[in-house]
Each structure stands twice: as structure tokens, then as C-alpha cells.
Amino acid sequence: MSTTMHELHIGQVTVPYEVTWSADRSTIGIALDQSMELTVTAPPAASHEDIKDALDDRKEWILRTLAGLSEQAHPPTQKEFLSGEKLRYNGRRYRLCVTHEERSDPSLSFDGSTFDLRVPTRLDGQTRYNRIHSEVVDWYVTTAREQFPSRVEKYRTKLAVTPDEVSVADLHAKWGEFQEGVVRLNWRLLLAPTDIQDYVVVHELVHTDHDTHSEQFWNAVGTLIPDYERRREWLRLHGNTLQI
């Protein structure tokens, strides 16, 4: 797999894009992430002219998508991890209670109504932020790994599909993906409402039988998530806010 960077010019708009040639692709795929960078994934046999033609065919879609990305909510301001701040969990905001004590590492726990953060007394400045942020992210990743498999199991049986594995990771610009039998989910989904989590789970499970986002794919998603368009739009507009 190899990657190169280019620029697409649409009138006065310049869009940087990355081309990745992948033996796993049989057609040219085009995607835009939250950073407004265009990604093209092409089979090895595709020429630069083929890619240019594909981009030309999608210029209107690219402009519409760029306009939509600009509507997205701004990321939250960086937390100071002080008592009174709130952390999101399953779509709700819960108060953070911080205790300073003699200990070696920060520790985060949740009792169903309040997040309890215990912080070493001697920590301060950027080191304090980095250590606490790492602990908070670890809590979310661990909790997602505990909870997401059961959500996958719930819909797996309804779709009569069997993924080989459920994985939780930081997928950056993606909320989920399905590759080689593995459902991968972004841990940051744990900050979103549970109905949004369910949409992403079903979306990736349907990829077991449908490689592309065809009409048949969306029909299959719609059998379990009739309002999937609303949930997909929620992610588009609010996904940037699902950060620690």
C-alpha cells in the first residue's frame, strides 16, 4: 500500500487530498473527514487520470460535504480536570469530583451519578493534565471494551451475522469500521447517546454482507434503525464534541 498527497481545485476552493493505492480495493473510493481533508483509495490498476475523472464526477458532492462539515459544532474547550466540571457518558453529563491525595497515579471511577477523580497531590501544570487525561481516556477505553460487545451481540443476532471479533480503539476520523471480519468501534462513541452508538454498531454489522454503501446496504440498516438518517446527521453535526 502506498500513499501520495495532491490538491484538488474547484473554482476558488482548494482541497488537499491523499491517494492510497490498495490491493483490497476494486473501485475508487472517496471520503472527507472532519479535518476537511479528502481521501482517495484506489486499486493498483487505477491511473492518475482515472482518479481525476472520479474526482470530477464528485465535485458537487465534495462542495456540499465541505459546506456541511463547516456547520459542525466546535470541539469543547480543554478541561482543567477540576471539581464541578462535567464528563459525558452515554449522552449525559455527569459532575466531576476531584480529590487530591498522596498517591502515585491518578484514578477515575464512576458510581452512576458522579465521576470521582483522585489526583496525586504533587502533580501540577502540563504534567498534571497529561497524566489525568491519560487516566480518563483509559477509563473510557476500558468501559467501552466492557459494554460495546453486548451491544454488538444484541444486533448481531437480529441481523443473523457473526463477526469474528469486536475491537475498541481510537479510530481518529472514523466512528467504526468493518475489516476482515472484525467490527472496530471508536471508544469516543461512549460519550454519545446510546441510540447513536446503536446506529454505528448496526452500520458496521451490515458491512458483513455489504461492502459498499449501496441502496441495499441502507435498506438493511433501516430494517433495524428506521431513523438512521437522523442519527447519522447527529454524528455529522455533533461528532466533534465527543472529546475529552
Give me the DSSP letters along 164-182: SEEEEE--TT-SEEEETTE
- Give 125: exposed, middle or buried? Use CB within 10 Å, 0-12, 13-18, 19+: exposed
77-124: pLDDT as tens digits: 789 999 989 999 999 889 999 999 999 999 999 999 999 999 999 988
pLDDT at 74: 65
Between these two residues, 17 and 47, which has the higher pLDDT value?
47
Answer yes or no: do 150 and 235 share one domain: yes
129 & 65 share domain? no
For the beta carbon of residue 43, count every other beta carbon within 10 angstroms. Answer: 15
CATH number, domain with residue 176: 3.30.2010.10
Q: What number is the average pLDDT over the span 131-135?
A: 96
132, 153: one domain: no
The verdict on 27 and 56 lying in the same domain is yes
Evaluate whether residue 184 is within a structural domain: yes
In this structure, the answer to whether residues 135 and 150 fall within a common structural domain is: no
Instruction: Please say which residue of 139, 167, 183 terminates a domain.
Output: 139
- Domain assignment present for 78: no
Cβ(106)–Cβ(117) below 8 Å: yes
pLDDT digits (tens, 9 = 90+) for 34-91: 555 678 889 999 998 999 999 999 888 888 777 776 666 666 778 999 998 999 999 9
Q: What percent helix, strand, coil does the chain show, rounded to 5?
A: 40, 25, 35
The separation between CA 162 and the C-alpha centre of its own chain, rounded to angstroms, equals: 22
Please say if the pLDDT value at position 214 is more than 60: yes
Q: Which domain holds residue 19?
A: 2-69
Number of domains observed in the structure of the chain: 3
Q: Which of 120, 139, 158 is the endpoint of a domain?
A: 139
Is the model's pLDDT at 239 over the cut of 60?
Answer: yes
State which H helix or E strand residue 27 sits in: none
Asked if residue 155 and residue 132 are part of one domain, the reply reads: no
- Global pTM exceeds 0.85: no
74: in domain: no
